[in-house]
Structure formats: structure tokens, C-alpha cells
Amino acid sequence: MRVFVTGASGHVGSAVIPELLQSSHQVTGLARSDEAAATIEAAGGAVQRGTLDDVDVLRQAAGDHDAVIHLAFKHDLMFGGDRDGAIAADLRAIKTIGEALEGTNKPFVTTSGTMMLAFAGITGRPGTEHDAVAAGPRVDAENHVIALADKGVRSSVVRLPPTVHSHLDHHGFVPTLIAIAREKGYAGYPGDGDNVWPAGHTLDAARIYRLAIESAPAGTRLHAVGDEGIPFREIAATFGRMLDIPTRSIPAEEGEAYFSWLSAFVDTDNPTSAALTRRALGWKPEHPGLIEDLEQGHYFAEAVV
């Protein structure tokens, strides 16, 4: 298939391109800068210049390709204070692509997150692919994609865990937390640290995107999760061991001072199952889990931080 990929030069996109090419697909990546274009070309993809705001470009590219994978999101806008603007741009891009694909039965795979399940109050058990949230930030985009199944689009959504980890991850939650620990001189965890985070390896996630365009049924939610839930205290302890610094509990009243903008996320309890994804796609994780990946040391090289 000829696959159009937004966010092709980013963390997950940099793994999705070779995953697709190795399975004899052709890739065109959306590039908003010369640097992004060079990254896509170096990986073996063709380049479509444009941004998420270029709705005519998105519409044309979706129509010209056999499948679309949407990974791009305006994270810089999100964490720069314009959360609503980033969310609105994402939904607008998804609606544009979806309209171009209606009635074609082409696959359209987009991206969401497992943490939305915790924020929606799904607790006391692992969240599953059948769990859905009625409305909310980024949830509206996920629900719109699922609804496209009724309009002749083979749509699916990949929910990524908060920690998508590998040597390709330079700006996610893991390197950010490591940078904080290095700066503060100790690795912190919230409260008793018993809350758990799911995790998934970048290369395992990339394979899910490829399998989704090839075979996911219309209207499918998928979980790119290898580790169902790791206690945050264990993650912090691994940071401390690898950096040779102490590990400490961070009281709630000190959370923002230590974790900065991550304080809104670190105490989230988000156990997540991928059992239905495994059955639906014949997928299983093949790469190291988070703790083993951390112990390989690549996250702790100064150049990564």
C-alpha cells in the first residue's frame, strides 16, 4: 500500500516508516520543515510538504494514498500554554482526512492515549480496548475516528501508554523525568509510588500501526502496551540506580515544585491491558520492557538529556 503518514519524522514516526518499508509498503511523510523532510527522506520515505493546518494538502494526500496513519500533534503548542488550540488542530486534521476517505474502505489509523481512561475514572482494574469515554479533550477525536467505521472507512485508533520507550525517545516522559532527577540530585516518586503506569516499546508500537492498516477491523481501538503496569516507585528507583542518586517520595504539596508540568500526570494510576489487541492483530511485544530498557543505559547518556 501507499501510506500517507503525518508526524513521520517524530519519535514513533521514525519507527513506523522502516516498519512499513520492510513490509513492502510505500511511505509519504508530511513534513513541516526542511529538517523533518530530510529525516523522512533519510528513512526512505517520500515527502509531502505541509502542516496540520494545511487542510487542502491533507485532503489531497489522503485521497491519493491507500492508507493514512496520523501521528502528528502540536505538542509544542500544547505545552506552550495553548492546549485548546493543539486539540482543535488535531480534530480538524482528523475530520479533514476522514471526509476524504469516506466511502473508500481505506484504512485510517490515528493516535490516542491510555491515560485518558484513568482521567475518565476507570480505576480498580486494567483498562481495556472496549473501554470508551463519552467526550473530552482528545477523546472527541478518538470517538470521531471510531464513528468513521459507519461511513465506509476502515478506521482504528492506537492508544499509546504514557511511556513509549526506546533509543528513539528523546523528548517524552521518561527523558523528562530523568532530566528532573539529574537536576534535583534525587529521583522522585509521588506519595507512596504505588500507582502504576503502562509502557510499550517504540518498535512494538510501530508494528501495531502497520498491522492496523493491514488488518484491523473498522472501528477498532488498540493498545500499544507491553508492560501492563509498573509501580512509579520502581521506575524512579531505576532512575536512581542508573544515575547513582537517592530515591525519594515527593509529598503532594511539593509535587509541582519537583515534577513541574508533569505533576498533573505522575500520580495517575493507569493499569492497561492489551489482550484484545493481541488477539485482534496476532501481535505480541518482542522488545524489552521499560525497566530492562532503562537498564541498557541509553537514556542516561548526557547527549540524550
**pLDDT of residue 304 exceeding 50:** no
pLDDT digits (tens, 9 = 90+) for 7-53: 999 999 999 999 999 999 999 999 999 999 999 999 999 999 999 99
- Ordered strands of the 227-231 beta sheet: 163-165, 196-201, 227-231
Residue 219 exposed, middle or buried by CB count within 10 Å (0-12, 13-18, 19+): middle
Q: What domains does the chain contain, in order, with CATH numbers? A: 2-163+199-227 (3.40.50.720), 171-198+229-270+289-304 (3.90.25)
Distance from chain centroid for Cα 157: 11
- Own/partner long-range contacts of 138-141 (Cβ < 8 Å, ≥24 apart): 138/87, 138/90, 138/112, 138/113, 139/112, 140/91, 141/87, 141/90, 141/91, 141/94, 141/110, 141/112
The more confidently predicted of residues 77 and 219 is 219
Cβ within 8 Å of residue 84, ≥6 positions away: none
* Residue 302: predicted pLDDT: 64
Span 246-302, pLDDT tens digits? 999 999 999 999 999 999 999 999 999 999 999 999 999 999 999 999 999 999 986
pTM (2 d.p.): 0.96
Tens digit of each residue's pLDDT (9 = 90 or more) over 77-111 = 777 778 899 999 999 999 999 999 999 999 999 99
- Please give the pLDDT value at position 1: 97
Q: Residue 142: pLDDT above 60?
A: yes
